[in-house]
Copies of this chain bind each other. A is one copy, B any other.
Amino acid sequence: MNNICVCIYTRFWLTHLVFMGAGAMGEIKHLVIVKFKEGVVVEDIVRGMEKLVSEFDLVKSFEWGQDSEGPEMLTQGFTHSFSMTFDKKEDYAEFQSHPNHVEYSATFSAAIEKIVVLCFPSVRVKPSA
């Protein structure tokens, strides 16, 4: 099961990287929102992600949060947000393809019921640069 997840997840990322295009400028934001499966120990998943990003200087920022009480009409059932920042898309690509990330992705993929992933050049309006 995990091997299948690794394959699917890795294909997701490789496909995603191809689709990001070559025109992205500035800081790259990698945003993931998820709903975890029933019974998942979310603390373990989060600790794993914290450990992973601590191993990469390429990951310039990492923050996460849990909205466990927002009304369904707003959250659509999603509960957690994870956000990482990279200086450039090449750094993001390097992180995504690293064996440690691929290994962690298997655990993460197995734990999620649904997911949205957005990756984009971030436009910071406030505070101004």
Please determine whether B126 and A59 come into contact, CB atoms closer than 8 angstroms.
yes
Residues on the B chain within 8 Å of A29, using CB: 63, 65, 81
- Which residues of A (40-59) have their CB < 8 Å from a CB of B? 50, 53-54, 59
Please determine whether B20 and A69 come into contact, CB atoms closer than 8 angstroms.
yes
Q: Is A118 an interface residue (CB 8 A)?
A: yes
Q: Is A97 an interface residue (CB 8 A)?
A: no
- Which residues of A (104-129) have their CB < 8 Å from a CB of B? 115-127
Residues on the B chain within 8 Å of A81, using CB: 29, 31, 118, 120
What size tier do the contact residues of chain A reach?
35 or more
Partner of A71, one of B19, B54, B73: B19
Residue of B nearest to A11 (CB): B73
Please determine whether A70 and B19 come into contact, CB atoms closer than 8 angstroms.
yes
Q: In the complex where A116-B33, A118-B81 touch, is A74 in contact with B126 (Cβ < 8 A)?
A: no
Q: Is A78 an interface residue (CB 8 A)?
A: yes
Q: Annotate A14-41 by CB proximity to B: 1 below 8 A, 0 otherwise.
A: 0110011100000001010100000000
Q: Contacts A20-B69, A59-B126, A78-B118 known; list 4 others, CB within 8 Å.
A: A53-B126, A63-B123, A67-B119, A78-B116
